[in-house]
């Protein structure tokens, strides 16, 4: 194998090779950084990566290599380089959430998700660019400049996890962590032509994820292939005593879904604070074994409006045809309250954000701007200089909808409608539908600077945000290209049914083959 080939390998193949001694962690680090330089990942060019430290990464690689020689089980991500969205607390590299208010801030603790990746042998090599505090759908709201889509550098990579999606699309790492509140992993995955997974709310610990909207936030996984995303999720999912909202539901071996079988029987949950991976699963078998016999796919009419772009619709129909070809039944369904999702989301998320971002006050860490006039002027100067316009707008919106006199009409109302949206999904899944299929986004990636109206930007989330509101798992897989720009198809299943979601995704990916990227 040559260094060039490494950027095409799946994470499972890399880990396999490292454990077998065919690859070294050093090789992988070199390959990633070389690829980053080639593609122009730095601030002067595509601006994918905000922070990295090649020297430190090499040192870690050496440590991993030493550990490999002596240890029995080095984890299912042995030597795999991983990029992390800048709003996930990590040791060593700064955590700045794409914001000026946290410029230079290095977290003294690390997110549980990262702890678990490292415990499985992964190498965290970079923090990626994002919309400031995860508020945006294009990564144009970063205080550190926009990220360019590696597929077409005139275009946005999507957001808010644009940097992570771009890192995977560019071949810098096979897996990256992002975060979701309203589609921020799936939408950039669709725009960049990679796989993006939002787990069930509570599936992955939020400890260390800088909060935007606590009842919606989840760490998500981006991967070059479905297998990469499944492997990443296996490592990070599971109960965390440090996160009171995390679930103790069993974590299946998601990669077994590639074999096309129904979910394996429940296994004993690992109660250790750090899950040291399961026994390695062989690489996914060739396509002929994948089958969707007996699987019912729901096609919700609200996500295929008449106004939907014709090319996007065609690609979705092709994907559905492939699923039928693999034995699935496609059923027309309705999720009637879906059109209310954007108003609901843009009341609830900013409301929680206005509270979550109050801690950025210049007192204990981060930026402080002190005009010398006392406490309140310090607060105001720090926050007005530290936050960008979209963040400011959402904090104000959130403060408004929570304030006395408006709480009932806006916040309380939105909470109630949120329940109705969740009910729509429940009704569909208990009505015999296994998975829902929709376009991930209404359009392909748009040019940088093309959208300036805030609400128009919010509409990018129109197909993704319902899954966040309902808490159900959802993922985007590449299903083709329109004028060379990637299009994503979205698969949604019931709470904690990621296994079934992966089963459909593996099958679709195999059925489309190279056409998914053409």
Partner 1 sequence: MSVTRDDVLHIAELARLGVDAHRADELVKELSAILSHMEVLSQVDTASVATTAGVGAGGTPLRPDVGVAPLMRETLASMAPAMRDGFFLVPRLATHEDSSESGA
Partner 2 sequence: MSGKYEMVVGLEVHVQLKTRTKAFCGCSADFGAPPNMNTCPVCLALPGALPVLNEHAVELAVRAALGLGCKVNPISVFARKNYFYPDLPKGYQISQFDQPLATGGSVMIGKTEKGTDIQIGITRLHMEEDAGKSIHDRYPGEIAIDLNRSGVPLIEIVSEPDIRTPAGAGAYLRTLKQILQYLDVSDVSMEEGSLRVDANISVRPPGQVKLGTKTEVKNMNSFSAVEKALAAEYTRQCALLDSGGRVEQQTLLWDGARDTVRPSRTKEGSHDYRYFEEPDLRPLMLDAKWIEHLGSELPELPDERKKRLTEEYGLSTVEVEQLTAHSDLAEYFEGVARASADGKASYNWVMGEVQAALRASGEEISRFRVRPADLAQMLNLVRDGTVSHTAAKTVFAKMVETGKPAAQVAADEGLLQVGDEGAIATWIEEVLQEHPEEATRYLGGEKKLQGVLVGFVMKKSKGRADPKRVNQLLSTRGG
Contact footprint for partner 2 (CB under 8 A): 87-89, 95, 97, 102, 105, 107-109, 111, 206-211, 213-215, 241-245, 351-352, 354-355, 357-361, 363-365, 375, 379, 399, 402-404, 407, 411
Task: Specify the residue, 305 or 371, whose C-beta has the smaller distance to partner 2.
Answer: 371
CA-nearest of 420, 503, 506, 502 to 198 is 502
Closest separation in Å from C-beta 250 to partner 1: 15
Residue 510 partner contact from partner 2, partner 1, none using kind-dependent CB cut-offs of 5 to 8 Å: none
Q: Note if 384 is an active site residue.
A: no
Torsion-angle region of residue 134: left (phi > 0), alpha (psi -120 to 50) or beta? left
Residue 111 partner contact from partner 1, partner 2, none using kind-dependent CB cut-offs of 5 to 8 Å: partner 2
Residue 351 partner contact from partner 1, partner 2, none using kind-dependent CB cut-offs of 5 to 8 Å: partner 2
Q: Residue 235 and residue 204: Cα distance in Å, rounded? A: 10
Are 464 and 159 a contacting pair, CB within 8 Å? no
Between CA 298 and CA 308, with CA 304 as vertex, the angle to 5 degrees is 155
Q: Note if 184 is an active site residue.
A: yes
Task: Specify the residue, 243 or 423, whose C-beta has the smaller distance to partner 2.
Answer: 243
Task: Specify the residue, 191 or 212, whose C-beta has the smaller distance to partner 2.
Answer: 212
Are 234 and 253 a contacting pair, CB within 8 Å? yes
Residue 413 partner contact from partner 2, partner 1, none using kind-dependent CB cut-offs of 5 to 8 Å: partner 1
- Residue 64: strand, helix, or coil: helix
Size of the site for partner 1 (CB under 8 A): 66
Residues 6+ apart with CB under 8 A from 364: none
Between CA 353 and CA 125, with CA 84 as vertex, the angle to 5 degrees is 150
Q: Considering only residues 481-510, where is the footprint of partner 1 by CB under 8 A?
A: 495
Q: Pick from 301, 384, 447, 449: which binds partner 1 (CB under 8 A)?
A: 384
Site string for partner 1, 415-454 (x = CB under 8 A): xxxxxx-x-------------------------------x
Q: Pick from 24, 56, 105, 291: which binds partner 1 (CB under 8 A)?
A: 105
Indicate which residue of 164, 184, 247, 476 is catalytic: 184
Task: Specify the residue, 20 or 404, whose C-beta has the smaller distance to partner 2.
Answer: 404
Task: Specify the residue, 399 or 443, whose C-beta has the smaller distance to partner 2.
Answer: 399
365 binds partner 1 per the rule CB under 8 A:
yes
Cα-trace Rg, the chain: 22
Task: Break the chain down into helix, strand, coil percent, rounded to 5.
Answer: 40, 15, 45
311 binds partner 1 per the rule CB under 8 A:
no
Q: Residue 189 and residue 492: Cα distance in Å, rounded? A: 15
Q: Residue 147 and residue 180: Cα distance in Å, rounded? A: 18
Residue 97 partner contact from partner 1, partner 2, none using kind-dependent CB cut-offs of 5 to 8 Å: partner 2
Work out the number of other CB atoms within 10 angstroms of the CB of residue 456: 10
251 binds partner 1 per the rule CB under 8 A:
no
Task: Specify the residue, 35 or 394, whose C-beta has the smaller distance to partner 2.
Answer: 394
Task: Specify the residue, 138 or 382, whose C-beta has the smaller distance to partner 2.
Answer: 382
Q: Pick from 29, 378, 487, 508: which binds partner 1 (CB under 8 A)?
A: 378
Q: Residue 80 and residue 228: Cα distance in Å, rounded? A: 11
- Residue 39: strand, helix, or coil: helix
CA-nearest of 157, 106, 135 to 217 is 135
Are 393 and 455 a contacting pair, CB within 8 Å? no
Closest separation in Å from C-beta 361 to partner 2: 6
Q: Pick from 375, 407, 449, 513: which binds partner 1 (CB under 8 A)?
A: 375
DSSP calls for 69-123: HH-S---TTTT-EEEEETTB--SSS---TT-GGGTT---SS--HHHHHHHHTT-E
Side-chain half-sphere of 255: how many Cα atoms within 13 Å? 23
Q: Note if 334 is an active site residue.
A: no
Q: Residue 381 and residue 378: Cα distance in Å, rounded? A: 5
Are 438 and 304 a contacting pair, CB within 8 Å? yes
Indicate which residue of 160, 205, 247, 476 is catalytic: 160
Site string for partner 1, 180-219 (x = CB under 8 A): ---------------------xx------------x----
Task: Specify the residue, 241 or 282, whose C-beta has the smaller distance to partner 2.
Answer: 241
Q: Which residues are catalytic?
A: 85, 160, 184
Q: Write out the residues near partner 1 by the rule CB under 8 A.
A: 105, 108-109, 201-202, 215, 241, 244-245, 247, 337, 340, 342-344, 346-347, 354, 358, 361-368, 370, 372-381, 383-384, 387, 392-393, 395-397, 399-400, 403, 409-410, 412-420, 422, 454-455, 470-471, 495
């Amino acid at each position: 194998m040559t260094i060039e080939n490494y950027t095409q390998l799946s994470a499972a193949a890399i880990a396999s090779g490292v454990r077998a001694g065919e690859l070294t962690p050093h090789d992988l680090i070199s390959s990633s950084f070389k690829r980053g330089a080639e593609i122009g990942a730095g601030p002067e060019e595509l601006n994918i990566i905000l922070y990295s430290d090649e020297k430190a990464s090499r040192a870690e690689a050496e440590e991993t290599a030493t550990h490999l020689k002596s240890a029995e089980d080095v984890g299912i991500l042995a030597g795999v380089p991983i990029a992390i969205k800048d709003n996930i607390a990590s040791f060593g590299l700064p955590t700045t959430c794409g914001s000026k208010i946290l410029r230079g801030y290095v977290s003294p603790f690390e997110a549980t998700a990262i702890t678990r990746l490292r415990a499985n042998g992964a190498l965290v090599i970079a923090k990626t660019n994002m919309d400031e505090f995860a508020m945006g759908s294009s990564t144009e709201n970063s205080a550190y400049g926009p990220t360019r889509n590696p597929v077409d550098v005139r275009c946005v990579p999507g957001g808010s996890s644009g940097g992570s999606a771009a890192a995977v699309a560019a071949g810098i790492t096979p897996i990256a962590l992002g975060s979701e509140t309203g589609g921020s992993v799936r939408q950039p995955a669709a725009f960049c032509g990679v796989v993006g997974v939002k787990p069930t709310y509570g599936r992955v610990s939020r400890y260390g994820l800088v909060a935007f909207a606590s009842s919606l936030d989840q760490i998500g996984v981006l991967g070059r292939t479905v297998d990469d995303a499944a492997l990443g999720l296996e490592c990070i999912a599971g109960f965390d005593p440090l996160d009171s909202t995390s679930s103790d539901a069993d974590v299946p071996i998601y990669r077994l879904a590639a074999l096309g079988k129904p979910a394996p029987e429940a296994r004993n949950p690992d109660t250790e604070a750090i899950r040291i991976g399961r026994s390695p699963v062989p690489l996914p078998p060739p396509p002929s074994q994948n089958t969707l016999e007996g699987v019912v796919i729901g096609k919700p009419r609200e996500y295929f409006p008449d106004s939907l772009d014709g090319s996007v619709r065609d690609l979705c129909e092709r994907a559905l045809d492939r699923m039928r070809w693999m034995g699935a039944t496609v059923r027309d369904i309705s999720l009637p309250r879906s059109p209310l999702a954007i108003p609901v989301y843009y009341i609830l998320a900013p409301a929680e954000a206005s509270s979550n971002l109050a801690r950025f006050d210049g007192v204990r860490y981060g930026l402080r701007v002190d005009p010398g006039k006392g406490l309140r002027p310090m607060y105001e100067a720090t926050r007005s200089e530290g936050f960008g316009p979209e963040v400011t707008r959402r904090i104000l919106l959130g403060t408004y909808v929570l304030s006395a006199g408006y709480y009932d009409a806006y916040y309380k109302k939105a909470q109630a409608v949120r329940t109705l949206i969740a009910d729509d999904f429940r009704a569909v899944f208990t009505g015999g539908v296994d998975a829902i299929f929709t376009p991930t986004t209404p359009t392909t990636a748009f040019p940088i600077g093309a959208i300036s109206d805030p609400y128009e930007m919010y509409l990018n989330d129109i197909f993704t945000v319902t899954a966040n509101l309902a808490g159900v798992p959802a993922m985007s897989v590449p299903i083709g290209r329109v004028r060379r720009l990637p299009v994503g198809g979205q698969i949604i299943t019931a709470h904690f049914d990621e296994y079934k979601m992966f089963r459909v995704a593996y099958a679709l990916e195999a059925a489309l083959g190279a056409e998914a990227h053409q």
